[in-house]
Structure 1
Amino acid sequence: MSNVYDKAHELARTLRESDEFSNLKDLHEKVENDDVAKRMLDNFRQLQLELQQKQMQGQQPTEEEITQAQKQFEMVQQHETISKLMEEEQRMSTVIGDVNKIITEPLEELYGKPEEQ
Structure 2
Amino acid sequence: MASNIYDIAYELEKALKNSQEYATLQAKYEETRIDPAAKKLFDQFRNIQMKLQEKQMTGQNILQNEVEEAQRVAAMVQQNQKIVQLMDAEQQMSIAINEINKIIMKPLDELYGKMSQ
TM class, shorter-chain normalised? 0.7 to 0.9
Amino acid at match of 1:35: P
User: What is the TM-score when the length of structure 1 is the normalising length?
Assistant: 0.86
Identify unmatched segments of 5+ residues in structure 1.
Answer: none
Deviations 1:87-109 (A, max 9, x none): 11111111101101111111222
**Stretch deviating more after TM superposition (103-112 or 38-47):** 103-112
1:59 match: secondary structure: coil
Alignment partner, residue 109 of structure 2: 108
CA drift at 1:19: 1.2
User: What is the TM-score when the length of structure 2 is the normalising length?
Assistant: 0.86
**Stretch deviating more after TM superposition (54-63 or 38-47):** 54-63
CA drift at 1:9: 2.7
Say how many residue pairs are matched. Answer: 113
**Stretch deviating more after TM superposition (77-86 or 13-22):** 13-22
1:31 match: secondary structure: helix
Amino acid at match of 1:38: K
Q: CA RMSD in A?
A: 1.7
Q: Which runs of 4+ in 1 moved over 4 A?
A: none
Alignment partner, residue 12 of structure 1: 13
Identify unmatched segments of 5+ residues in structure 2.
Answer: none
Alignment partner, residue 50 of structure 1: 51
1:72 match: secondary structure: helix
Alignment partner, residue 35 of structure 1: 36
CA distance in 1, matches of 2:75, 2:6: 42
